[in-house]
Amino acid sequence: MNAVAGAAPADIDAAVAALRAGELVAFPTETVYGLGADARNPAALRKIYALKGRPSTHPLILHLAAAAQLPQWVATVPPIATVLAERFWPGPLTLVLPRAPGVPDELTGGQDSVAVRVPSHPVAQALLTAFGGGIAAPSANRYGRVSPTHAEHVREEFPQGLLVLEGGPCAVGLESTIVSLLDASPRVLRPGAITRAQLEQFIGPVSSADAAGAVPRVPGSTVQHYAPQTPVSLLAPADLARALADAVARGERIAVMSRGESAVATTPTLHWQRMPDAAADYGQQLYATLRRLDKLGVSRILVERVPAGIEWDAIRDRLNRAAATFT
């Protein structure tokens, strides 16, 4: 595992020792950095909620080294789960399945189900393999804040001596796609890099949480989630041009996130952030960009709406949440 970016074997050993001692460890995954604890240790799991400031009813995601460990944690592995695991694991897909007896309530938020994924990041794989058991990990940010996609972001969120394994920038940059397999028809609870269309190629029709109208217990579905501290306004291109002209005329300090070039001359009060054209690149950079713009001291971040295509679903979802309290 020497090829692993950042974390050396000695770092992995230290992290495993910390997990066995009931301590928390932050580690990289291909989606975002996670704040990990031994998933069989209720006291360690409670430390996650305390450190994040997260309500204890909000369940965590269980990370495993391989799908072969599933029977230790879930009551049944439906054929559809096997199909998805074979196709998408290791990778940015989380499956919600009935939990096995003895799985701690602190992991599941007291629910009868457990959310599981097998991450592909080599540091996450090295850690899980060396630890041998399951690691519960939410995103390594304080509750309601933007998820970390660099080790540096984790240290910003938790400056007080948390062990953080280095793994470079996360390749996906947005949290995993969550699919519930509890009911007769599979349902996406949180959009991610793996789209509904990709899932449907292998398992047939998949509904979305929106379509079902139900509100599952997913913290990411509360309105204020993923928000930077600076107000975010999400605008169609024509509205953006107007809002921009007004703000510049007033001398208001603003930042703009757009896939296009600046239509106005750069001024000292305007920061124009050009975003990538392709959804995968945009998603990879979204959270790091929001963090950076949040530090500029601007009064607002104006974000140009992204295209309607399905590959933009996860980005649109996160942008809507970031903007929800302000527009």
Interface residues with ligand TXA (CB under 6 A) are: 29, 31-32, 34, 58-61, 94, 96, 108, 111, 113-115, 137-139, 175-176, 178, 189-190, 216-220
SS3 content of the chain, % helix, strand, coil (to 5): 35, 20, 45
- Maximum CA extent, the chain: 63
Rounded CA-CA distance 174/52 in Å is: 18
Shortest distance, CB of residue 327 to Mg ion, whole angstroms? 22
Q: Which does 60 bind (CB under 5 to 8 A by kind): ligand TXA, Mg ion, none?
A: ligand TXA
Sign, CA torsion 69/73/79/82: negative
Q: What residue ranges in 212-269 does DSSP mark as E strands? A: 232-235, 254-258
Shortest distance, CB of residue 59 to ligand TXA, whole angstroms? 3
Q: Per CB under 5 A, which region of 33-41, 42-50, 91-99, 136-144 contacts Mg ion?
A: 136-144
Residue among 174 and 256 whose Cβ is closer to ligand TXA: 174
Residue among 53 and 260 whose Cβ is closer to Mg ion: 53
> How would you classify the pairing of strands 177-180 and 187-190?
antiparallel
Shortest distance, CB of residue 326 to ligand TXA, whole angstroms? 22
Kindly state the DSSP code that residue 221 receives in the 8-state scheme: G
Residue among 56 and 111 whose Cβ is closer to ligand TXA: 111
Cα dihedral 41, 46, 47, 53 in deg (nearest 10): 160
Determine, following the binding rule CB under 5 A, whether residue 149 of this chain makes contact with Mg ion: no
Shortest distance, CB of residue 91 to ligand TXA, whole angstroms? 10
Residue from the set 108, 139, 149, 285 that interacts with Mg ion by CB under 5 A:
139
Give DSSP secondary structure letters for 100-142.
PTT--HHHHTT-SEEEEE----HHHHHHHHHH-S-EE--BSS-
Chain position whose Cβ is nearest to Mg ion: 139
Please say whether the beta carbons of 180 and 208 come within 8 A: no
Residue among 61 and 128 whose Cβ is closer to ligand TXA: 61
Residue among 7 and 140 whose Cβ is closer to Mg ion: 140
Inter-CA distances, 175 with 29, 138, 284, 286, 298, Å: 10, 10, 10, 12, 27
Determine, following the binding rule CB under 5 A, whether residue 125 of this chain makes contact with Mg ion: no
Shortest distance, CB of residue 218 to ligand TXA, whole angstroms? 4
Contacting residues toward Mg ion, per CB under 5 A: 139
